[in-house]
Chains A and B, each alone.
Chain A
Amino acid sequence: DVKVTQSSRYLVKRTGEKVFLECVQDMDHENMFWYRQDPGLGLRLIYFSYDVKMKEKGDIPEGYSVSREKKERFSLILESASTNQTSMYLCASTGWGSGGEQFFGPGTRLTVL
């Protein structure tokens, strides 16, 4: 069974802290994505990666960075967390030839105080 795991289900951080969210997939997928999900706004793409060490900005990259040192792992970094980054963060992956079907992790609900 395909699996995408995220390091935490719930996280509470303080303004200004550096935050790491990690995602691991076991499907040997080339492409990985970080989204944030907010009520009424659907899923908004933060960053994606189509290969190890490669990254591309999505629609809302400001305030975030990413790292992909290994194929199976894609990390989202909030350099200095702010209250407007309180959200649900979703990681997804897909392989070439899958027609775009993405597989999702359980999400991390981040609260920044």
Chain B
Amino acid sequence: AQSVSQHNHHVILSEAASLELGCNYSYGGTVNLFWYVQYPGQHLQLLLKYFSGDPLVKGIKGFEAEFIKSKFSFNLRKPSVQWSDTAEYFCAVNLDSNYQLIWGAGTKLIIKP
């Protein structure tokens, strides 16, 4: 069965540190890729998405992600995190333009001020 793996369940960083959250999926066909974020007490919202074209996509709040097809990966990055980035981050994959998403287990990011 297709799956999405997020390697770190908890990440703790200091402000200004660089961030990379890993996401790998197991599917050889066409994919659309998403990162969602859930700030404390708020609803899930889209951070960025990749459908096609430039494999480096930029999202809100300075986040970016790179799609590497050969590695089945879609890692999320931010060069310098802020305390307000404390949240839970979810990677999700859409297969063959189906309307469903397959979700990773999420990564809880805590930024120490």
Q: Which residues of A contact B (CB under 8 A)?
A: 30-31, 33, 40-45, 48, 50, 90, 92, 94, 96, 98-102, 104-107
Chain B interface, DSSP helix/strand/loop, else mixed: loop
| Sample of 8 A–B contacts (CB below 8 Å) | A33-B100, A90-B43, A99-B94, A100-B34, A100-B100, A101-B46, A105-B43, A107-B43
B28-61 interface with A by 8 A CB criterion: 32, 34, 36, 42-46, 49, 51
Interface contact A96-B99, CB-CB below 8 Å = yes
Interface contact A40-B9, CB-CB below 8 Å = yes
Interface size class of B (residues with CB under 8 A): 20 to 34
B66-93 interface with A by 8 A CB criterion: 90, 92
Q: Min CB distance, A41 to chain B, in Å?
A: 6
* Bound Cα distance from A44 to B90, whole angstroms: 12
Q: Among B49, B99, B104, which residue has the most Cβ atoms of chain A within 10 A?
A: B99
Any A CB within 8 A of the CB of B98: yes
9 closest Cβ pairs, A-B complex: A100-B94, A42-B105, A104-B44, A106-B43, A43-B103, A99-B32, A31-B99, A42-B106, A42-B103
